[in-house]
Amino acid sequence: MSEKLIQIGMDDIDSPDGGCTTHFATILIETLNELNVEWTDYPNLIRLNPGIPYRTRGNGAVALRFLMRSKDVDSIIPIVQELVQDYVEKEYPNTNPGVVFFEEEVPSQVQHLSRLALWRVVPIELAQRVVETCNIPHYSRGNGRGLIGALSAVANNLQGDYTYEYIAYRALKDCDQERGVDVNSVLTMDKTMTDFLFSNLDPSTNRILIEPHGPDPVLFGVRGETAASVIKAGQQVKSKQKVDRWVVFRSNQGTGEHLKHHVAINDLRPYMAAIVSGRVDVEPKMIEGGHSIFRIVDESNRIDCAAYEPSGEFRDIVMKLKIGDRIKIHASVRPASRTHGWTLNLEGLEVDELAEIFDFSNPVCPQCGKRMKSAGTGKGYKCVKCGYRNTEIKRTESYRKRDLSIGLYLPPVRAQRHLTRPLVRANKTNSGVPYGLVTKWHDF
Ligand code: ATP
């Protein structure tokens, strides 16, 4: 039998004891290793539309790609199916796993769905229709929602920019205990390897961002530019809990892949990830809870915009906006609720043009130098000190220097989405850089 490229996509594989899709992927990799597959890529961790309400954490799905000589995809399906069933436990209702299998080509309908899932809400029915019309071998449970992420991950080959994450896991039985990641080891790691890493530390607070806080098996994850650098960095991190296993993922994290669409206000849809251009229409105000709210207008309509309290110092920038400023909002669209209209939740702000602001003041008396007062509507100005009057004299206009510059502003790293392209990556890309597997990219 000739060698075949097999690709498996998976999503929504959670378990009652805290399991998650990437952790399940490590177990599947371990099983496939026993079948002597030849890996053609790192496992891919594909983040999808971060505004999706159904996500548990960072809306991540996984794709595995490998060559297999002795078996075809039909022989793999029951193995994977059994592993998923064992992992999620048969009666666990809070997960809707989806797994899809491909030999060789991924059809164009799947690629289309995959591009959509980065920034739109994809209906489950669309995923099911694609699976049926393209005759895709698959396994799903519950409402089948996991198929959306599974299809989307497998069709995203990370052909443009990409990054890496080293994820260290603890054992499932230890998920109810404290991880105890050693802050100093992270600070040292970040300092020594800073050019190769991103979004592992929040520079304004020195808070470490590699350690999750939920009861999942991820002990920590280190994001960076090359496989070798994330492995080197990840192995410098110390923690109270033992590393049970680690894997390097190739990913679209930090690439901004979700924010490629410029959308007019009238064309926005709930939970869309979009770039919206407009002019400030109502100036920002800080409301209770520390959220900064303003409004923009474009040719089609007006919409409220919000920078929420967790975005910290980013709100100070937002508060400097003035009516007439031309800006682009990087946004996730929040649909109307009982208390609010449609709102653009800010993930970034591009200031393209600043409105000119003038301050007006009464003229200075040409006789004594004292500031004059209005003499009444249409009656010009009078000086209360020397009595000088003039109906022709005009108020003075002075240009106010703005304390905001043209450019891109993002929330602090701690408040960014996994997909956000952080400022340290603004001029970096791994597009076209080969991703040959390093000798040891996982350890179980
Ligand atoms: P985990 O880390 O456990 O994978 P998660 O944050 O990735 O958690 P999931 O539990 O996987 O969240 O749930 C996300 C669900 O949303 C999945 O079923 C996925 O298929 C679905 N989904 C992802 N992107 C979209 C989209 N653009 N439209 C509709 N559904 C989506």
Could you report the per-residue pLDDT of 279-289, keeping only the tens digit for each? 999 999 999 99
pLDDT of residue 89: 77
Q: What is the dihedral of CA 178, 180, 186, 189, to 10 degrees?
A: -110
Statement to judge: residues 348 and 376 lie in one domain: no
- How many CB atoms sit inside 10 A of residue 359's CB? 9
**How many structural domains comprise the chain?**
4
pLDDT at 384: 95
pLDDT of res. 95: 84
Q: Is residue 433 part of a domain?
A: no
* One domain for residues 290 and 339: yes
Please name the residue whose Cα sits nearest to atom 15 of ligand 1: 55
* Percent share of the chain, pLDDT over 90: 89
Q: What is the pLDDT of residue 1?
A: 57
Does the CB atom of residue 362 touch ligand 1 within 6 A?
no
Instruction: Give 336: exposed, middle or buried? Use CB within 10 Å, 0-12, 13-18, 19+.
Output: exposed
Average pLDDT, the chain: 95
Residue 115 Cβ inside 6 Å of ligand 1? The answer reads no
Question: Which residue among 157, 178, 201 closes a domain?
Answer: 157
Whole-number Cα distances in Å, 124 to 47, 52, 119, 267, 303: 18, 13, 15, 22, 29
Strands 245-251 and 44-47: parallel
pLDDT of residue 442: 98
Cα(407) to centroid(ligand 1), Å: 33
Q: Can you tell me which atom of ligand 1 is nearest the CA of 148? A: 20
pTM value is 0.93
Task: Say how many Å lie between the CA of residue 61 and the centre of ligand 1.
Answer: 7
Instruction: Looking at the structure, tell me whether residues 409 and 373 fall in a common domain.
Output: no
d(CA 151, ligand 1 centre) in Å:
11
Q: Is residue 222 part of a domain?
A: yes
Over residues 364-374, the mean pLDDT reads: 95
Pocket perturbation via mutation, ligand 1, pick of 10, 21, 28, 54 by most ligand atoms within 8 A of CB: 54
What DSSP assignment string belongs to 180-227?
-B-HHHHHHHHHHTGGGB-SSEETTTTEE-SS--SSSSEEEEEEESSH
The pLDDT tens digits for 384-440 are 999 999 999 999 898 989 999 999 999 999 999 999 999 999 999 999 999 999 999
Q: Of the residues 136, 157, 178, which one is the last residue of a structural domain?
A: 157
CA 193 to chain centre: 23
Question: What would the mean pLDDT of 44-64 be, rounded to a whole number?
Answer: 93
Residue nearest to atom 3 of ligand 1 (CA): 20
Mean pLDDT of the region 362-369:
94
- Please check whether residues 97 and 168 belong to one and the same domain: no
CA of 240 to the centre of ligand 1 (A): 30
My answer on whether 175 and 68 are in the same domain is no
Model pLDDT for residues 57-97, shown as the tens digit of each residue: 899 999 999 999 877 889 999 999 999 999 987 667 778 99
Rg (CA), the chain: 28
CATH number (domain holding residue 113): 3.30.70.2200
**Residue 406's domain is classified under what CATH number?**
2.40.50.1010
**Residue 127 falls within a domain, yes or no?**
yes
Q: C-alpha 168: how far from its chain's center?
A: 21
Cα(436)–Cα(10) distance, integer angstroms: 23
How much is the pLDDT for 277? 98
Residue 255 Cα to ligand 1 middle (Å): 19
Residue 65 host element (H or E): strand 60-68
Residue 443 lies in a domain: no
pLDDT in tens, 122-173: 999 999 999 999 999 999 999 999 999 999 999 999 999 999 999 999 999 9
Name the residue of 15, 124, 145, 333 to mutate for ligand 1: max ligand atoms within 8 A of Cβ: 145
Same structural domain, 210 and 311: no
* Residue that is last in its domain, among 157, 174, 192: 157
How much distance in Å is there from the Cα of 3 to the middle of ligand 1? 32
For ligand 1, atom 25: residue with the closest CA: 117
Same domain? For 87 and 178 the reply is no
In this predicted structure, the answer to whether residue 258 has a pLDDT above a threshold of 70 is: yes
Ligand 1 neighbour 156 (Cβ under 6 A): no
Q: How far apart are CA 242 and CA 396, in angstroms?
A: 71
- Check whether residue 271 and residue 412 sit in a common domain: yes
Regarding whether 148 and 11 lie in a shared domain, the answer is: yes
Q: Is the CB of 216 under 6 A from ligand 1?
A: no
Mean pLDDT of 44-53: 96
Please report whether residue 46 resides in a domain.
yes
Do 290 and 279 share a structural domain?
yes
Separation CA 342–CA 263 (nearest Å): 14
Q: How far is the CA of 429 from the centre of ligand 1 (A)?
A: 26
Task: Tell which one of 116, 129, 148 to mutate to probe ligand 1, the residue whose CB is within 8 A of the most ligand atoms.
Answer: 148
Residues 396 and 407 in one domain: no
Parent domain of 115: 3-157
Cβ of 140 below 6 Å from ligand 1 = no
pLDDT at 90: 67
**56 CA distance to ligand 1 centroid (A)?**
7
Give the residues across from 357 on adjacent strands: 400
Locus of tokens 């703005």: 402
CA of 438 to the centre of ligand 1 (A): 29
Q: Are residues 140 and 27 in the same domain?
A: yes
Query: d(Cα 11, Cα 127) in Å, to the nearest integer?
Result: 13
Q: How far is the CA of 144 from the centre of ligand 1 (A)?
A: 11
pLDDT recorded at residue 441: 98
**Residue at 178 is within a domain:** yes
Output the domain CATH number for residue 176. 3.90.600.20
Residue 279 lies in a domain: yes
- Check if 327 has its Cβ closer than 6 Å to any atom of ligand 1: no
- Structural domain includes residue 437: no
